Amino acid sequence: MSKIVERKRKKLKLNKGELQVVTQLEKAKVKYSFEPHSFTYNVPTTYTPDFKVETKTGPLYIEVKGYHAGMQQWCAKIKHFTQQNPKISFKMVFLDASKKFNKNYKSNLGDWATKNNIEWSDKGKIPSSWLK
């Protein structure tokens, strides 16, 4: 990890997945910002995606997600956000898309994203096509 990326990690308080994405964005030499905007939507709350990447087709917002105990509530929030903001380019980077919400659920994070028409990638990797 470069000293620049390490300083950014400490300054921005990046988690493991976000640090993976920063390293890829730095390597790709694209302009990006971390948690630059909060969006309001009809459920009375706001949502702040992890990254805004400047692409040739306009801004792309990326959320990096591992797994945590409140995943079901978080997924509901993302679903509302994407449904109410269809013009915003939004994609997910999962650390492990095969994770299930809990042992009682058959579907996993990748299945959930696909079902909700959210483009996603796995293993913390950003497809190069997203950065064009």
Rounded distance, CA 87 to CA 82, Å?
9
Domain 3-131 of CATH type 3.40.91.30: yes
pLDDT at 119 over 70: yes
pLDDT of residue 9: 59
Convert the pLDDT of each residue in 32-61 to its tens digit. Answer: 998 888 887 676 678 899 999 999 999 999
Number of H helices, E strands in the chain: 4, 7
Indicate the burial class of 113 (C-beta count within 10 angstroms; 0-12, 13-18, 19 or more). Answer: buried
Predicted pLDDT of residue 1: 53
Residue 75 pLDDT exceeds 60: yes
Query: Domain limits of the chain?
Result: 3-131
Q: Using the predicted structure, report yes or no on whether residue 130 has a pLDDT greater than 80.
A: yes
Collapse the DSSP code of 25 into the 3-class scheme (helix H, G, I; strand E, B; otherwise coil) and give the result. Answer: helix
